[in-house]
Amino acid sequence: MAKRQIILDTETTGINPREGHRIIEIGCVELVNRRFTGNNYHVYINPEREIEAEAVAVHGITNERLAHEPKFRDIAKSFFDYIQGAELVIHNAAFDVGFIDHEFARLTPALPPVQQYCAVLDTLKLARELHPGQKNNLDALCRRYDINNSHRTLHGALLDAEILADVYLLMTGGQVSLNLAAKQEHSEQGENAPATLVRNSKLKVIRASADEMLAHESRLDLVQKKGGSCLWRN
C-alpha cells in the first residue's frame, strides 16, 4: 500500500494560540513512497487580528499583505481533505499541530484534533535522537546534511516545508557503507583491527517502478518453479 506523507509548516501571528494567535500561512509538500508528487498545498490566510512585530521580523508577512486573503474558515475543508489520512512530517510538531487544532476548534461545527485522522512524525525529536547534544533547528540540519538554504532569508511555510522534505529524506534514507579510508587503515593494522562503518545519508532513494516489480515477481515465479522454494519469498 502506498505511504502518503505530508511535510507541513505554518507561519503564525505569534507563538501561543491560547493567547488568540492565528495561522497566517500553511505550506505542504506531498510525498508518496518517499517520492515528490508535485501535489503540494499552499495558502495565505487573513488572521483577523494584528500580527506581532516579533513574528513579522521572522517571516516578513504583514497584515497589509493578508488583507485580501481568505479567512481560515474559508480554507478549512480543503485543508482538512488534503491532509486527512496522511502522516504529517513536521519540525517541532507540537507547535504547528497546536495551532491547527486551535483553528479547527474555532470552526462551527468544529473539526476534530489532527491526531484523530493523521499520524504525526516530529523531525525535531528524530533529529535529537540522531544528533544528541547538537543544534537541530532547520538551519543547523541544512548545514549538517549539506542542503543549500541560502535563499531562506526569512521563514516561509512552503519554502520551509520544501527544505524540511529534503532534510527528512536524508535523515531517514541513509545507508551504511564501508569507508574506503577506514578500510585501508584496517588492512594496515592487521586482520584483527575493527572495520569502521559510516552512515552515508546523501544517497538518493530509488524505488522500483510498477513494471520493474512485475518483472521481478515473474523472475521469482521461474525460480520457484525450478527449485520448489524461493528464498526471496520466505
Catalytic residues: 155
| Dihedral sign computed on CA atoms, order 83, 103, 166, 171 | negative
Which residues lie below 8 Å from residue 69, measured CB to CB, with a gap of 6+?
43, 44, 45, 46
Rounded to whole angstroms, how far apart are CA atoms 230 and 218? 12
Residue 187, sorted as left (phi over 0), alpha (psi -120 to 50) or beta, turns out to be alpha
Q: Which residues share a beta bridge with 118?
A: none
CA triple 124-3-233, angle to 5 deg = 115
Rounded to whole angstroms, how far apart are CA atoms 48 and 195? 61
Rounded to whole angstroms, how far apart are CA atoms 101 and 195? 49
